[in-house]
Amino acid sequence: MSQDIPAMKSSKNQATTGQVASALITVAVIIAASGFAWYWMQKQAGVPEKSPSEQSGAESAAQPTPTPTPTKLFHGKDTYIVSRGSLAKGPNISEITFDPLDPAVGATQTISVKVAHNSPISDVSVKLRTDTKTTPLKLTLSEGTELGGTWKTTWTVPESYMYNYIATIIASSGKEETSIPITIRERK
């Protein structure tokens, strides 16, 4: 007794090789487009690319400390150029120099201010705000005349200026006064 094995017959509805390839390409394009759309939406939502375990190592070291880190200062002598325009009233403060800009606590610092006006300048001073106090400093004419010259003072830095370091320069001539704040560091 032999068993008859039915022979497979070809169907007219069977896909050709070209149709199968087209279908596979279409499926691949749909998967790629879906993946790109998902990635783009993750980027728009701000989701990090790394997993939380990958992030904890590198980024935890970069986390800011609870106390704000002071901004770095230029080391040595620094000059600020000031321009108020031709219509400004009062003495014209044009240049402020700190030598050095970053003195150590207990060290000396020289502050020079160039001032000019069509009437004699009667007073030039600086209110220097550091971390916990404001120190008034009177400048004296060191070169030039009362109509235009350089006014200077040298002082000893009494405390830190890690977070607040603001110099307000005030120049007076008769009833006219000019005040220019120079914010070097400020904790907000």
Reading the chain (188 residues) residue by residue, the pLDDT tens digits are: 555 555 555 556 667 788 888 888 998 889 888 888 887 777 766 555 554 445 455 444 555 454 667 777 878 999 999 988 777 889 999 999 999 999 999 999 999 999 999 999 999 999 999 989 999 999 999 999 999 999 999 999 999 888 889 999 999 998 999 999 999 888 76
Look at residue 9 in the predicted model and tell me its pLDDT.
Answer: 56
Global pTM?
A: 0.63
What separation, in Å, do the N-terminal and C-terminal C-alpha atoms of the chain show?
Answer: 100
78-185 CATH choice from 3.30.1360.70, 3.40.190.170, 2.90.10.10, 2.60.40.1930: 2.60.40.1930
**Domain spans of the chain?**
17-62, 78-185
Look at residue 79 in the predicted model and tell me its pLDDT.
Answer: 93
Look at residue 141 in the predicted model and tell me its pLDDT.
Answer: 96
Look at residue 66 in the predicted model and tell me its pLDDT.
Answer: 40
